Amino acid sequence: MKQSTDLKKRVKEIIRILSKEIPDSRIALRFSNPLELLIATILSAQCTDVKVNQVTVDLFKKYRSAKDYADANPAKLEEEIRPTGFYRNKAKSIQKCCQELMKRFGGEVPKTLEELVILPGVGRKTANVILGNVFGIPGIVVDTHVHRVSQRIGLTENDDPVKIEFDLMEIVPKEEWTHFSNLLIWHGRRTCVAKKPLCGICPIRKLCDYGSKVKF
């Protein structure tokens, strides 16, 4: 693993370049309150944000509170979220999560990672999505894109998402954690894709362990 100081310099340059390339790097999921983002993030597992946004247009009109989800007819909820895939498991997670929200937090989404991760269906990734994008509390979000891109760039040698999160926390300025995560997510979707990364047009190729070795 490279020296932390070198990686910190690389990260700052990556943030500078990608911020110009992706000026609107906000989260793609659509929401208007913490509960909506919580539900949307649960639905986004192994599903595109585009599809989730299509489903939540009507879902959010019908279910306005944690109690609405907690008291929902399971079969109806499953049918309403079916297009997102794995709908039975997701419906169970949503209902259990919202039941716990009612029981522990009066139906309100908590504002700390420690409280969020005790909710059914909520791991560190989902918790950091909510903290950073709703409450303005910095968090590193290690989704499939951040996982892949951070390894390729050479910012981590770990494969475990939690270990990657802590590696990035060490070298990314805390105030940039959420912004950096969103930048890598968009970069991973548009350029540093899984199977055939577009290294030839990548703006951070010279800063990338993987891209700098690719021949054209």
By annotation, the residues acting in catalysis are: 125, 143
DSSP states along 68-95: HHHTS-HHHHHHHHGGGS-HHHHHHHHH
| Number of C-beta neighbours around residue 134 at 10 A | 18
Q: Are 184 and 145 in contact (CB under 8 A)?
A: yes
Burial of 176 (0-12, 13-18, 19+ CB in 10 A): middle
DSSP H helix total and E strand total for the chain: 11, 0
Q: Are 84 and 78 in contact (CB under 8 A)?
A: no
d(CA 32, CA 14): 30
DSSP state of 119: S
Task: Using alpha carbons, select from 83, 76, 49, 123 the residue that is nearest to residue 40.
Answer: 49
- Calculate ∠ Cα 155-202-205, nearest 5°: 45
Structure tokens given for 149: 């891109």
